[in-house]
């Protein structure tokens, strides 16, 4: 799955690092691998793993305030 979201206004380096740390921990717990890229205020994440694990990881996202797009492949 490829997922993109725009950072909240004023997101600083510490906030981005926190997001990276949480993403690494949650992905590892679910057996998911991938890549997270941040630039120009946009996060892009490529996730690979068992379908159910990826869906579990993505489930909370509709409750976040960030504009986003998700594409599955």
Closest to 18 (Cα-Cα) out of 40, 54, 43, 1: 43
Q: What is the pTM of this model?
A: 0.65
Distance CA 34, CA 54 (A): 11
* pLDDT the model gives residue 39: 85
Residue spans per domain, the chain: 2-71
- Bridge partner list, 27: none
Q: Which pLDDT score, from 0 to 100, does residue 59 have?
A: 79
Burial per residue of 21-37, b for 16 or more beta-carbon CB atoms within 10 angstroms, e otherwise = eebeeebeebebebebe
For domain 2-71, the CATH class is alpha beta
The angle at the Cα of 36, spanning 44 to 29, to the nearest 5 degrees, equals 125
Which mean pLDDT values do the consecutive 10-residue runs of the chain (73 residues) have?
A: 80 84 88 89 88 85 57 50
């Amino acid at each position: 799955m490829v997922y993109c979201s725009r950072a909240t206004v004023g997101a600083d380096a510490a906030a981005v690092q926190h997001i990276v740390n949480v993403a690494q921990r949650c992905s590892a717990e679910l057996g998911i691998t991938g890549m997270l890229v941040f630039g120009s205020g946009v996060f892009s994440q490529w996730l690979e793993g068992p379908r159910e694990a990826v869906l579990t990881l993505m489930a909370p996202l509709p409750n976040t305030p960030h504009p986003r797009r998700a594409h599955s492949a």
